[in-house]
Amino acid sequence: MKEQSNIVDGLGEKLSEIAGDLFYLGPEVTLAITIILVLVYDLLFKDKKEVGIFSIGFVGLVFALVISSFINAGTPFGGMFSLNMWNLTIKFLLILGGVLMLIMASRDQKNINRFGKSGELMIASLTVIMGASLMSSSTNLLMIYVAIELTSIGSYILTGIVRGRKRSEAALKYVLFGGVSSAIMIYGMSWLYGFTGTLNISDPTFFSGLSNVPILPLSIALVMTIGGFLFKLSAFPLHIWSPDVYQAAPTPVVALFSFVPKVAAIALLIQFVGAINTIDFDWQLWLGIVAIASMTVGNFSALWQKNAKRMMAYSSIAHAGFLLVGVIAFSESGNLALLFYAAVYLLMNYGAFLLISYFEKQTGSANINKLRGIGLDVPWLGVLVVIVMIALTGLPPTAGFNAKLLIFSSIWESWQGSGAQVLLWVFIIGLLNTVVALFYYLRIPYYLFFKRPEKEIDKAKLTSIDIVWGTIFVIPLLVLFFKSDWLVDFLNNINFVL
């Protein structure tokens, strides 16, 4: 009886510990409950489900956003997750990206029908956000793999669930690339586990185990593992899927893809590199090469694009390179710059896709040449587009300039401290790529204001709420240029110990 009592007490203690640890995963638990509620609602009701499904999804995301603001640092579930103020801020931005995606979708009846007539699209969107949120704080190789697969599977469904030949083709390509990259990644993880005997990358035995491994097999294992991270980041050379997916998927979904998995992958990469950055593997060299290639390939490929969403796909590849610049700085200023860049990138990208979705609704196409003269008919929205494109380029008077300035300052500071030549090349080529970006970003304002319209647009489709939301998305880009110290002061209070 005493032995049974000890077992019961031990089990009760363990359950109590798990219940306490669940608080650290409050946002993810909330999203899981929201997914279940959407599924149940979808099964119970057959007609006019749009309002219910949208409301459940939106309230669940907002609730998860609020909870993420109250979580403290910790290492729950035996160190399977590592939570600090840095990745909690990233988690907040990821969930905010989901909220903004639903706001964007609610502005178009076609997207309301897509998200609301059945729960699959909403469930897949919430799954992507939940997986990305888990990615940002995972320190266990198995949990990292599960989180990446959650994000990936949801993304595959979002790409291919809407009928259409191009969408099916893009989804198939996405699945094939994703499957191969996942297989390579988990094979690399199996090597790391074999070298160390532990799945926890923050465990001291993980570092000590890798320290005794010859450089060749260690390099192979690390390259295979980070391949999966680069796939979600859509960085070179694992970027080939993104243009077709961006062009085929609904615009609010593309906005989600452009930010949530990408920033989650950056957070995961920082955790991974931070755990083993003193091992005899030159992270700065290899990630620097990836950053240079991503910026260059993305920007030069975008120059030739005629479709705005496809152009933004190559733009996101280039921005993946700029985000990597913050990683390879290996400094607090680099982490600060990366957080600032991520917050501004959220505003820039969602603002761009919100305005693209409006013009897409007007013209029936996302082709840039269909935008001829529309800026003259709706000058306020045209001006908003100009501001967003200037911000994406990284020019004043927008917060995009401040973001680029912080990123380049961090890499310059790191080069002065270490003298690593790759950092200097990243700095120089990054600046040159900013000039290249000017030519394709400003092509959209050029068509809006300096080309004659093919036909007069239907202004009846333009509502005051479109103008309001467009302004809400864009005005912070101007405010944060003149008052960037508001955000910088907040970020300076964050503990950057990873």
Do 266 and 335 have their domain in common?
no
Report pLDDT for 498: 46
Span 36-40, mean pLDDT? 90
Do 267 and 302 have their domain in common?
no
Residue 288 lies in a domain: yes
CA distances 483 to 140, 383, 396, 404, 477, Å, are: 39, 21, 13, 16, 10
CA distances 131 to 55, 100, 124, 324, 470, Å, are: 21, 17, 10, 21, 29
Q: Residue 21 pLDDT more than 90? A: no
Q: How far apart are CA 399 and CA 182, in angstroms?
A: 35
Report pLDDT for 253: 86
pLDDT tens digit sequence for 165-175:
777 788 888 88
Minimum mean pLDDT among 108-117, 326-335, 420-429: which range?
Answer: 108-117
Do 275 and 322 have their domain in common?
no
Report pLDDT for 463: 63
Report pLDDT for 46: 75
Q: How far apart are CA 133 and CA 81, in angstroms?
A: 11
Do 409 and 464 have their domain in common?
yes
Domain that holds residue 370: 282-498
Dihedrals φ, ψ of 19, to 5°?
-60, -40
- pLDDT band at residue 204 using 50, 70 and 90 as cut-offs: confident
Residue 155 lies in a domain: yes
Residue 419 lies in a domain: yes
Report pLDDT for 94: 92
Do 194 and 289 have their domain in common?
no
Do 121 and 222 have their domain in common?
yes
Q: Residue 461 pLDDT more than 60? A: no
Do 236 and 299 have their domain in common?
no
Last residue of a domain, one of 245, 280, 315: 280
Residue 8 lies in a domain: no
Q: Are 224 and 326 in contact (CB under 8 A)?
A: no
Q: Are 269 and 215 in contact (CB under 8 A)?
A: no
Last residue of a domain, one of 226, 245, 280: 280
pLDDT tens digit sequence for 266-323:
988 888 888 787 677 778 888 889 999 999 998 898 888 888 888 888 988 998 888 9
Residue 24 lies in a domain: yes
Span 372-398, mean pLDDT? 84
The share of the chain scoring above pLDDT 90, in percent, equals: 11
Do 266 and 352 have their domain in common?
no
pLDDT tens digit sequence for 220-268:
888 888 888 888 888 888 888 888 888 888 888 888 888 999 999 998 8
Report pLDDT for 32: 92
> pTM, whole model, 2 decimals?
0.89
pLDDT tens digit sequence for 394-419:
888 888 888 888 898 888 888 888 77
Q: How far apart are CA 152 and CA 132, in angstroms?
A: 9
> Taking all residues of the chain, what is their mean pLDDT, rounded to a whole number?
83
Residue 127 lies in a domain: yes
Q: Are 472 and 61 in contact (CB under 8 A)?
A: no
For tokens 């049974």, what's the residue? 4
Report pLDDT for 33: 92
Do 357 and 268 have their domain in common?
no
Residue 133 lies in a domain: yes
Do 100 and 210 have their domain in common?
yes
- Based on its alpha-carbon atoms, the radius of gyration of the chain, rounded to whole angstroms, reads 23
Do 171 and 30 have their domain in common?
yes
Q: How many domains does the chain have?
A: 2
CA distances 219 to 98, 204, 350, Å, are: 36, 19, 37
Last residue of a domain, one of 236, 263, 280: 280
Written in H, E and C, the secondary structure of the chain is CHHHHHHHHHHHHHHHHHHHHHHHHHHHHHHHHHHHHHHHHHHHCCCCCHHHHHHHHHHHHHHHHHHHCCCCCECHHHHCECECHHHHHHHHHHHHHHHHHHHHHCCCHHHHHHHHCCCHHHHHHHHHHHHHHHHCCECEHHHHHHHHHHHHHHHHHHHHCCCCHHHHHHHHHHHHHHHHHHHHHHHHHHHHHHHHCCCECCCHHHHHHHHCCCHHHHHHHHHHHHHHHHHHHCCCCCCCCHHHHHHHCCHHHHHHHHHHHHHHHHHHHHHHHHHHCCCCCCHHHHHHHHHHHHHHHHHHHHCCCCEHHHHHHHHHHHHHHHHHHHHHCCCHHHHHHHHHHHHHHHHHHHHHHHHHHHHHHHHCCCEHHHHCCHHHHCHHHHHHHHHHHHHHHCCCCCHHHHHHHHHHHHHHHHHHHHCCHHHHHHHHHHHHHHHHHHHHHCHHHHHHHHCCCCCCCCHHHCCHHHHHHHHHHHHHHHHHHHCHHHHHHHHHCCCCCC
Distance of alpha carbon 40 from its chain centroid, rounded?
29
Residue 10 lies in a domain: no
Do 442 and 303 have their domain in common?
yes
